[in-house]
Amino acid sequence: MSKIATITLNPAIDLTVRVDQFEPARVNRGQQMQMDAGGKGVNVASFLADYGHATAVTGFLGRDNAAIFEQLFMQKRIEDAFVRLPGQTRTGIKVIDEARQQTTDINMPGLHPSEADVEQLMARIEQLATTCDWFVLAGHLPPGLPTGFYATIIERLKTLGKHIVLDSSQDALRAGAQAGPTILKPNIDELRQLVERPLENEVSIEQGARQLLRDSVRLVVVSMGEQGALFVDKHTTLVAQPLAVKVKSTVGAGDAMVAGLIAGLTEDLSLIECARLATAFSAGTITRIGPHLPERPVLQQYASQVQVRTLLPAPKSRENN
């Protein structure tokens, strides 16, 4: 299996509190509290490690509270190539209402890397490129970095012949998408921002995703929540339906989908089997709190149950006939 690196520029410690029937502006009684090392790229690496893949992580990490991350990396044998910054990694608060299957997020902005920190990060990425074939760029940019920072990394990795997945949002996603990563992973809202038009049904979502298949972008995966996910390449469009499982938290479901997709691609699975495995990863993580997956046999059983169909192209209008 190929070694996979993830880049998390703005990680977070996830403080998750379960409060059934959560009501704002009132005193709420919590049932459970948990702290986990988080951030989209950290989550992806954790899921891949659970599945047995060799992984490495880099990005920016606060020196003062790095222990919770270091413990996770040691436990799962993830190579730690994070650049340490003075101060504390931000904390993100997640209030989970299992009864209503709702999650409320409060996210802080994160640490501000210096020019020297950025130079050190680029050196770490260059070093990881000697052993890793896949790179996942995931999450928001921290304060102080330019909008095109992901694009800069993508352009450098492309010159080194690497496969790149981009899972970000807003202007960083737009600039990064224009740099031509191998795979783009927007949700519906992010896709709508990229194509700048309404996406009212599967056909319009598919057409929007297909707009992004240019330059070296080979695959666009659009997560649609309860409606599943679209997997769009130059030849076909697949719709994977989500599994009916007991939901504890939807946090990290998209990251798990990215991890399952890469796991499938590095194992040379077909697109339909990749879609099944990605959906199985997503289903596996929402049954628990924190960036962890069930055992591999459970995930493979989930994958065998995922329904995938081909979305046929919309019929042409008479004017075009």
Which residues are part of the catalytic machinery?
255
Q: How far is CA 54 from the centre of its chain?
A: 17
In whole angstroms, what is the distance from residue 177 CA to residue 169 CA? 10
Write down the number of H helices and E strands in the chain. Answer: 10, 15
Nearest to 57 by CA among 66, 65, 230: 66
CA distance 283 to 253: 7
Q: How does strand 132-138 pair with strand 3-8?
A: parallel
Q: Are 89 and 11 in contact (CB under 8 A)?
A: yes
Calpha distance 291→12 (Å, rounded): 12
